[in-house]
Amino acid sequence: MSEFNRPTSTVISNAQNLLMEQATQNPTASVIKEMVELAASIMPRREDEPIDIEGAVAELIRRYSIWIGKNSTLSDDSDHETWLGSSRKKGWRYWPRYRDMLERKMPPAAIDALEISTDEMLGLLEDPNRTGSWDRRGLVVGHVQSGKTANYTGLICKAADAGYKIIIILAGLHNNLRSQTQIRLEEGFLGYETSANNDVVKFIGVGEMGRDLEIKPNCATNRTENGDFSTNIANHLAITPEERPWLFVVKKNKTVLDRLLKWIKNHVADTRDNESGLKYVSNLPLLLIDDEADNGSVDTGEQTFDSEGNPDPDHEPKAINSRIRKILHSFAKSAYVGYTATPFANVFIHRQGNTTDEGADLFPKSFIINLAAPSNYFGPTRIFGLRGVDGRIGGLPLVRVFKDHMSEDRETGWMPEKHDKYHQPFYLGVDTLPPSLKNAIQSFVLACASRELRGQGSEHSSMLIHVTRYILVQKDVHRQVKEYITGLRQRITRGVDDIESLKQMRRLWEEDFSPTRTAVIERLVESETTPPDHSWDEILQKLGDVLSDIEVRMINGKAKDILDYATPGTKGLKVIAVGGDKLARGLTLEGLCTSYFVRTSKMYDTLMQMGRWFGYRPGYLDLCRLYTTDDLIEWFQHIADASEELRDEFEAMKDSGATPKDYGLRVQSHPVLLVTSPLKMRTAKDLQLSFSGEILETVALHRSADILSKNLDATTRLLQACGSPQESPEIIRLRGSKPKKWYGHLWDNVSSEAIADFFDSYATHPAARKVNSPLIRDFIRSMAKIGQLTSWTVYLADGGEGVSYQFTGGPRVDRMIKRKADNTRSDRYAIGRPVSPPDESIDLDGPAWDAAMALTLKNWNPDAARVKDGKKPEAPTFPNGLAIRYIRGMGAPEQGIQAAPERGLLMLYPLDPDQAEFGPGFGDWKKPVIAFGISFPASDAGVKVKYAVDHLTQAQWAQEYGQVD
């Protein structure tokens, strides 16, 4: 939201209340204007703070055009009693005042969605008034920088209203993130500022204007950098079962958690267990919120289990995991809710992990909730798009690729891939920044200037520079950036030797920012405001002031700099933040405009968490830039695709009665390698993968003539083994009420051995993250041993835009398929995807297709789809791959369709190298480049194949991630 003066903010809040009283979901612009003018008419007028009527109307129009999808939930109600009804909500006081506060700054749709989702979460926990012992464990999966704090603040308010007495928030690994979380909970729950001496400094947020001060919660921690739970607090803090709850905001630190655990045992515990002798709290229900639950909380020690799956009772969990579990184990009535954007590590937790002292491990046995993102959320799919036949679909033109940070061999340069903590960042032997980073800094300056012209000067603007995890190297980068900004400021503000700098910035504005604004406008969603245009002369007038305001801060575990966004003032901060791991998780960079990012982690969850550029960019989306490398772009594209696949599978599972355990098993066998650190997966030597219910496609192909020839020979031998096609050159199937036509050749009942032999000979590209021929071969043979995947359909595609090709001893392709190449990939032939989505249903008859279509519509979540592409979609008219593979493998008995887990589908695509559109990339190779898609039917057989990880790779992972305690 744009920052307004207090009278305008009050008018917006009052007008929104008037609109909400009318219960109109989609008020017109004229109605909004009427309510704004009515709200303004009763406000006292002040000449020094005029009411911005036009701005208030625009803000409310933006708010009312935002939509939010529905959450998806998997739950297990074992030993759970349904309890949360309307009668239990009577007399609530914490949540109503939090909602009142939110109504001053959040869209009504967002507030309604928050109320619905927190009701569901609280209902899935246990009634705090329930007698006896109970333990609930859940996981809430949000999106990076999407507002998880607001969500769990709402949950905390409702939990306090319901009767939870002790509320502990585990807020990251660093002091500044803990402090940031404390401040937000002061605003949303406590209602007052905390201090080191426990004085109430002033009432804020929900406590402003004296709202319901008699319910003021207690708090054992404070907002200062050193305001964590201390020995002094522990020694003087007494607690009794009273009406008002106690809040603890602590970081995930062994010493702090030991201190808290000791205090619970010595001052709160009122009962001793007869068998173990351990003291525990019998009368006070606990709610423990674990923010960034996949970071630090997961036990990375290797626990052993016997043949029946029973855990080793003498296992010693890692420090933080152990303390969290001991705290939970110290309460007879406890609820644990983890929040994360990257749940991979959490679902890898062993479901039966248990020790005497710690109790059960932190697997979210009770529920997993996928939060829907608002339509104006700026996430990975909006930045990078999703893969399609013609490359990436969607995406915004905000990414800028550079390579000048290191040498071609990646060994030397300003910031090579591998460097130690003593590395000196020199560019071409000179102690200076590379041109790409200078360009990125200029881009940030221009973004700040444009935001000033857009009336957003009172808001914060930030730039992220994340290039190394070593503090000594960060110090050098910080110095270089500071020197560059100082020089740029002096040249432009003094008008001395500024011609070249101004020339560069003008070119950047006119050749980058102006056309990008136009391109972004075409892809804005309904809730986003069209950004205004500005001339270079207008920008030029703002440069001096902007450069004078910019500060360069170093943000890491040892730096003294903090991002004091909470400091009141009329001018927003303009900060260039240089950092490493401390910027990687949780810490919010307000108004992030520009990111310069070269970290080389390959773990999906780590990369996603490093993506601080995700979030909300109201009114300045077109000004945002991500400067990064082509390798990292590829990884983020892959992450976007993998995340969507898993969310789609989650949607498909929710209506089938699946539990969190089922989802955990599915993710663990998903053929997306390196989803998280193997240390967090407790994996010593290998990963166990299943391809059942999956589609695998070659999106990275070799360009070497020798390997292309080998793959063509493998294909020729397979087609010869298949014999004459059953259907050719046209394949026609009834699809709904209309026929669908394919061009190509189709074989039925091909043996699994012929298919396995094909994969024994076909060489997949090492950059194909999911597709590995030896693994596919082994999986097919393993399934065939139990009678599955024994009868294959093979489809050879035809009818493209290329020339003809005659396979030796096999069929003729009249027109080879066209797939455009990604020109940025010089080491491979990179395509979007070979499989056209309808191809996956080519082996289904009419009734099976109808069943897959019905299943697709049943599981289709229009709200999720709207969030994904930013538009209101129409219902699908073709079944999705998940439904096709499910019907093929599991059947639909109620519709008379038999399960056929023996049926696999191999789709072959002879790609014309001359149609790749990237020049002579294949040299003299004119024959087909063979791509494939392989569609595996769903199966509950549980067959997996082993992906071996050598000791060198383990050592590299351990070096990169360390042992997380």
Looking at residue 231, what is its pLDDT? 81
Q: Both tokens of residue 16?
A: 């929104």
20 vs 491: which has the higher pLDDT: 491
- pLDDT category at 607 given cuts 50, 70, 90 is low
Range among 310-324, 658-672, 887-901 with highest mean pLDDT value: 887-901
> What mean pLDDT do residues 803-810 have?
96
Signed CA dihedral, 573, 576, 582, 586: sign only? positive
Give the CB-side neighbour count of residue 151, counting CA atoms within 13 A. Answer: 32
- Cβ neighbourhood burial of 493 (10 Å; 0-12, 13-18, 19+): middle
Looking at residue 280, what is its pLDDT? 93
Share of the chain above pLDDT 90, in %: 48
Rg (CA), the chain: 29
Q: CA 65 to CA 850: how far, in whole Å?
A: 36
Instruction: Write down the mean pLDDT value for the chain.
Output: 84
- pLDDT category at 683 given cuts 50, 70, 90 is very low
- pLDDT category at 610 given cuts 50, 70, 90 is low
Q: Both tokens of residue 94?
A: 């914490």
Which of these ranges, 381-395, 464-478, 851-865, 936-950, has the smallest mean pLDDT? 936-950
pLDDT tens for 534-572 read 999 999 999 999 999 999 998 875 545 555 555 545 578
CB 18 within 8 A of CB 75: no
Element (H, E) at 945: strand 945-948
- pLDDT category at 300 given cuts 50, 70, 90 is low
User: Does 852 have pLDDT greater than 90?
Assistant: yes
In 3D, which of 326, 348, 294, 288 has the Cα closest to residue 172? Answer: 294
Looking at residue 940, what is its pLDDT? 87
> What mean pLDDT do residues 873-890 have?
90
Q: Both tokens of residue 352?
A: 């039966």
- Residue 343's SS3 state is coil
- pLDDT category at 678 given cuts 50, 70, 90 is very low
pLDDT tens for 69-103 read 678 899 999 889 999 999 999 999 999 999 988 88
User: Does 374 have pLDDT greater than 70?
Assistant: yes
Looking at residue 301, what is its pLDDT? 66
Domain edges within the chain:
1-64, 75-300+308-370, 380-639, 691-704+737-801+825-912+927-944
> Measured between alpha carbons, how far is residue 950 from residues 684, 686, 760 in Å?
10, 8, 21
For the beta carbon of residue 898, count every other beta carbon within 10 angstroms: 9
Q: CA 159 to CA 153: how far, in whole Å?
A: 10
* DSSP code string of 892-916: BGGGTBPP-TTEEEEEEEEE-GGGS
CA angle in degrees (0–180, nearest 5) for 171-177-179: 90
For the beta carbon of residue 47, count every other beta carbon within 10 angstroms: 5
Q: Which CATH homologous superfamily contains domain 75-300+308-370?
A: P-loop containing nucleotide triphosphate hydrolases (3.40.50.300)
832 vs 561: which has the higher pLDDT: 832
Looking at residue 952, what is its pLDDT? 35
Q: CA 201 to CA 562: how far, in whole Å?
A: 21
Q: CA 419 to CA 599: how far, in whole Å?
A: 11
* DSSP code string of 665-722: HHHHT-S-TTSS-TTTTT-SSEEEE--TT-EEE--EE---HHHHHHHHHHHHHHHHHH
Q: Give CA 797 to chain center in angstroms.
A: 36
CA angle in degrees (0–180, nearest 5) for 201-207-209: 100
Q: How far apart are the first and last CA of the chain?
A: 38
Q: Give the orientation angle of helix 705-722 with respect to helix 752-761, to 10 degrees.
A: 170
Looking at residue 635, what is its pLDDT? 74
Q: CA 655 to CA 113: how far, in whole Å?
A: 21
Element (H, E) at 630: helix 630-654
Looking at residue 871, what is its pLDDT? 59
Looking at residue 115, what is its pLDDT? 93
CB 202 within 8 A of CB 192: yes
- Residue 115's SS3 state is helix
377 vs 569: which has the higher pLDDT: 377
Share of the chain above pLDDT 70, in %: 84
> What mean pLDDT do residues 634-642 have?
74
In 3D, which of 336, 328, 330, 218 has the Cα closest to residue 282? Answer: 330
Looking at residue 458, what is its pLDDT? 83
Looking at residue 660, what is its pLDDT? 85
For the beta carbon of residue 395, count every other beta carbon within 10 angstroms: 18
User: Does 32 have pLDDT greater than 70?
Assistant: yes
- Cβ neighbourhood burial of 226 (10 Å; 0-12, 13-18, 19+): exposed
> What mean pLDDT do residues 469-473 have?
90
Length of the chain: 965
Looking at residue 20, what is its pLDDT? 78
Looking at residue 154, what is its pLDDT? 96
- pLDDT category at 908 given cuts 50, 70, 90 is very high
- pLDDT category at 3 given cuts 50, 70, 90 is low
Q: Give the orientation angle of helix 94-102 with respect to helix 148-162, to 10 degrees.
A: 150
pLDDT tens for 198-252 read 666 789 999 986 778 788 899 999 988 888 888 877 777 776 656 789 999 999 9
pLDDT tens for 307-338 read 555 666 666 788 898 999 999 999 999 999 99
pLDDT tens for 170-213 read 997 878 788 889 999 999 999 999 887 766 678 999 998 677 87
515 vs 354: which has the higher pLDDT: 515
Q: CA 11 to CA 6: how far, in whole Å?
A: 9
Q: CA 787 to CA 785: how far, in whole Å?
A: 6
- Residue 394's SS3 state is coil
- pLDDT category at 292 given cuts 50, 70, 90 is confident
User: Does 305 have pLDDT greater than 70?
Assistant: no
Peptide bond preceding 729 in cis form (omega within 30 of 0): yes
- Residue 363's SS3 state is coil
Looking at residue 785, what is its pLDDT? 96
586 vs 447: which has the higher pLDDT: 447
Q: CA 384 to CA 117: how far, in whole Å?
A: 28
CB 504 within 8 A of CB 512: no
pLDDT tens for 930-965 read 999 999 999 988 887 765 543 333 343 333 333 322
Three-class SS of 177-226: HHHHHHHHHHHHHHCECCCCCCCCCCECHHHHHHCCHHHCCEECCCCCCC
Q: CA 495 to CA 104: how far, in whole Å?
A: 44
